[in-house]
């Protein structure tokens, strides 16, 4: 009944023991409540002196107060634990997402991850809390009560015992149906989250293509499907509550009728009959409460399963001996191979050696594997085997803290946070001084633009702030990189691909002097960058088909010449 994986949560066994002790105490106070009430009524029925009622009233009052106090303590304990466990899961989830890197985010979907880390964690907390309280109640309270009823009145005890599995059977059948529907509902929820984020992100494109209205209809259909799935779960949940209430009430009614007849015939005395009747609803209460909350726990269970699945994904472990990077860097890859899951695409047996101070271009047709190779060099993807050697240390992958703390990655559209320009530049160096930020901004060629802004570096950009052009965004990313002096390896993924020729040549003029002395790896489609490069790697279908200095390649490599001719053609068409 308790998901076994829940038992792996840290500290849960101790909490369960404490809650079980409290629940046992609660079973006895419920028993006390029933006993004092029945005994008091019997006392009054026999018209005994009113003063004799006082101990029963006091006893009932104490038992009632004890029950409320224990309920409060149980809820507080379970809530405290569930909140802590959920927040711990959230921390682990975020750490895992960061450890897995951008590929995992792309695979899971941003919307899904965001809802998982926010709503999913809240639902998980609900689930842990309900399961802890309701399951323990169901496992302890009915048995204490039915034991006492049995001692007082065998037949009533047996009748109650027989009804229990019947109710459980209905609960299981309906619960399984609810679970299946709820899993479908959760999948719908994940789809809806990703769909919604995608639509928001692609709104500009959709509008430009004139299909935003059609897409809005699409969003409506997906959310309508989700609504229908939710209603299905609720329908089953209500049916389940109804079935349990019906059987519990029916059992109590049957017991009441038989005991009434026995009372009239004088076969039964009043106390056992009353105590059995008073305690019978309490006997069914935990299972009814569990049943009515069951559907509410399903969302949490699904969210927890999704979180667990993500937490179980293997995270690349850094090598025990980190490479020594104090001196000049040399990175060698031998037979570097990587394949996307269930795909033929990737990188096949690539071998190269790169040195600090080199400017390296990676070129190739669209889909040839340029970004994949950059991601492998950045440590965002893990290859097979142990293909890398970094300053003499053999490494299975480059998700190594020693390597990554020297990396700076500038994609086509660098991400700008909703903050000031200064804070965006301080991204790698939150402590950097105003003067250092100014210096980096000026080296990255931002000064002219900043002078036109009334608030200069304090201007807010990103979502909800001032818009920035593609070239300005690239310069902010450059300034970010320049500020972090220890970042000696610059990875560029087609940084100028979407810029116009004038902006690109201005940016190029700013960038080239800054490349000096660093290891710059530059995936590009633009021919004119090649002349400024020291080394060019030519990719085709995930394989290195040529590499060398641009002049040597131009002289000796047919593959290079063919690609350059193709790129010239594209440039010609673009122009």
Ligand X SMILES: Nc1ncnc2c1ncn2[C@@H]1O[C@H](COP(=O)(O)OP(=O)(O)OP(=O)(O)O)[C@@H](O)[C@H]1O
Q: 326-356 as b/e, with b when 16 or more CB fall inside 10 Å? A: eeebebbbeebbbeeeeeeebbbebebebeb
Phi/psi for 491 (5° steps) reads -105, 125
For ligand X, which is the closer residue by CB, 363 or 421?
363
For ligand X, which is the closer residue by CB, 103 or 433?
103
For ligand X, which is the closer residue by CB, 369 or 462?
369
Phi-psi region of 342 (alpha: psi -120 to 50; beta: other; left: phi over 0): left
Who contacts 525 (Cβ-Cβ below 8 Å, separation ≥6)?
A: 363, 366, 494, 497, 567, 570
Least Cβ distance, residue 539 to ligand X (angstroms): 7
Least Cβ distance, residue 350 to ligand X (angstroms): 12
SS3 of 509-557: HHHHHHHCCCEEEEECCCHHHHHHCCEEEEEECCEEEEEECHHHHHHHC
Cα 427 to Cα 406: distance, rounded to the nearest angstrom = 14
Least Cβ distance, residue 339 to ligand X (angstroms): 9
* Sign of the alpha-carbon dihedral angle for 423, 429, 431, 435: negative
Cα 383 to Cα 333: distance, rounded to the nearest angstrom = 11
Least Cβ distance, residue 294 to ligand X (angstroms): 38
Cα 542 to Cα 293: distance, rounded to the nearest angstrom = 53
Least Cβ distance, residue 283 to ligand X (angstroms): 56
For ligand X, which is the closer residue by CB, 343 or 451?
343
Contact 11, 132 (CB under 8 A): no
Between the alpha carbon of residue 170 and those of residues 1, 240, 288, the distances in Å are 15, 7, 12
Least Cβ distance, residue 321 to ligand X (angstroms): 30
SS3 of 437-460: HHHHHHHCCCHHHHHHCCCHHHCE
For ligand X, which is the closer residue by CB, 4 or 343?
343
- Which positions touch ligand X (CB under 6 A)? 106, 340, 343, 345, 364, 366-372
For ligand X, which is the closer residue by CB, 300 or 364?
364
For ligand X, which is the closer residue by CB, 33 or 474?
474
For ligand X, which is the closer residue by CB, 369 or 550?
369
For ligand X, which is the closer residue by CB, 364 or 471?
364
Question: What tokens appear for 521 in the block?
Answer: 């790896």
Cα 245 to Cα 284: distance, rounded to the nearest angstrom = 9
For ligand X, which is the closer residue by CB, 43 or 348?
348
For ligand X, which is the closer residue by CB, 450 or 537?
537
Cα 554 to Cα 533: distance, rounded to the nearest angstrom = 13
Least Cβ distance, residue 495 to ligand X (angstroms): 12
Least Cβ distance, residue 340 to ligand X (angstroms): 3
Contact 273, 259 (CB under 8 A): yes
Question: Comparing C-alpha atoms, which of 34, 21, 30 is closest to residue 66?
Answer: 30
Least Cβ distance, residue 412 to ligand X (angstroms): 9
For ligand X, which is the closer residue by CB, 366 or 574?
366
Question: Comparing C-alpha atoms, which of 411, 374, 423 is closest to residue 521?
Answer: 374
Q: How crowded is the C-beta side of 454, counted as CA atoms within 13 Å?
A: 1
Who contacts 151 (Cβ-Cβ below 8 Å, separation ≥6)?
A: 157
Cα 497 to Cα 495: distance, rounded to the nearest angstrom = 6
Least Cβ distance, residue 538 to ligand X (angstroms): 11
Question: What tokens appear for 226 in the block?
Answer: 């989700």
Least Cβ distance, residue 523 to ligand X (angstroms): 6
Least Cβ distance, residue 320 to ligand X (angstroms): 29
């Amino acid at each position: 009944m308790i998901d076994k994986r829940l038992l792996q949560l840290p500290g849960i066994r101790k909490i369960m023991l404490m809650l079980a002790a409290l629940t046992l105490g609660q079973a006895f106070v419920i028993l006390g409540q029933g006993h004092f009430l029945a005994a008091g009524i019997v006392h009054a029925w026999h018209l005994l002196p009113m003063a004799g009622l006082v101990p029963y009233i006091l006893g009932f009052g104490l038992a009632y107060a004890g029950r409320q106090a224990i309920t409060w303590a149980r809820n507080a304990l379970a809530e405290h634990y569930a909140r802590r466990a959920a927040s711990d899961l959230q921390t682990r989830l975020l750490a895992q997402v960061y450890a897995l890197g951008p590929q995992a985010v792309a695979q899971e979907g941003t919307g899904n991850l965001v809802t998982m880390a926010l709503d999913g964690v809240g639902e998980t907390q609900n689930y842990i809390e309900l399961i802890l309280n309701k399951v323990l109640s169901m496992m302890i309270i009915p048995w204490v009560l039915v034991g006492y009823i049995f001692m007082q009145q065998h037949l009533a005890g047996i009748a109650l015992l027989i009804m229990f599995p019947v109710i459980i059977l209905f609960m299981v059948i309906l619960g399984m149906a609810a679970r299946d529907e709820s899993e479908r509902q959760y999948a719908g929820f994940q789809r809806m989250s990703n769909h919604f984020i995608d639509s928001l992100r692609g709104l500009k494109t959709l509008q430009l293509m004139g299909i935003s209205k059609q897409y809005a209809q699409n969003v409506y259909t997906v959310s309508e499907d989700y609504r229908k799935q939710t209603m299905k779960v609720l329908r089953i949940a209500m049916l389940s509550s109804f079935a349990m209430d019906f059987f519990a009430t029916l059992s109590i009614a049957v017991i009441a009728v038989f005991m009434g007849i026995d009372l009239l015939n004088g076969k039964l005395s009043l106390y056992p009959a009353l105590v059995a009747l008073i305690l019978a609803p309490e006997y069914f209460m935990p299972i009814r409460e569990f049943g009515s909350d069951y559907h509410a726990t399903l969302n949490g269970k699904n969210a927890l399963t999704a979180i667990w699945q993500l937490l179980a994904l293997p995270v690349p472990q850094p090598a025990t001996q980190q490479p020594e990077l104090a001196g000049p860097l040399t990175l060698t890859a031998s037979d570097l191979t990587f394949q996307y899951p269930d795909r033929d695409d990737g990188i096949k047996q690539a071998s190269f050696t790169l040195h600090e101070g080199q400017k390296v271009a990676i070129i190739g047709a669209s889909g040839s594997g340029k970004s994949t190779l950059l991601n492998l060099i950045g440590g965002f993807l893990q290859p097979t085997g142990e293909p890398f050697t970094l300053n003499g240390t053999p490494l299975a992958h480059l998700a190594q803290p020693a390597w990554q703390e020297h990396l700076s990655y500038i994609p086509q559209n660098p991400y700008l946070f909703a903050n000031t320009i200064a804070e965006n530049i301080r991204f790698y160096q939150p402590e950097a001084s105003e003067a250092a930020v100014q210096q980096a901004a000026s080296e990255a060629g931002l000064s002219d633009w900043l002078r036109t802004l009334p608030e200069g570096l304090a201007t807010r950009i990103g979502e909800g702030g001032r818009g920035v052009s593609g070239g300005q965004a690239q310069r902010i990313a450059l300034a970010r990189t320049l500020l972090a002096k220890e970042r000696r390896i610059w990875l560029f993924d087609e940084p100028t691909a979407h810029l116009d020729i004038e902006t690109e040549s201005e940016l190029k003029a700013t960038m080239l002097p800054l490349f000096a002395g660093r290891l710059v790896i530059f995936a590009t489609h633009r021919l004119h960058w090649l002349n400024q490069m020291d080394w060019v790697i030519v990719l085709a279908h995930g394989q290195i088909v040529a590499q060398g200095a641009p002049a040597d390649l131009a002289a000796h490599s047919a593959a290079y010449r063919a690609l350059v001719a193709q790129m010239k053609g594209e440039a010609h068409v673009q122009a």
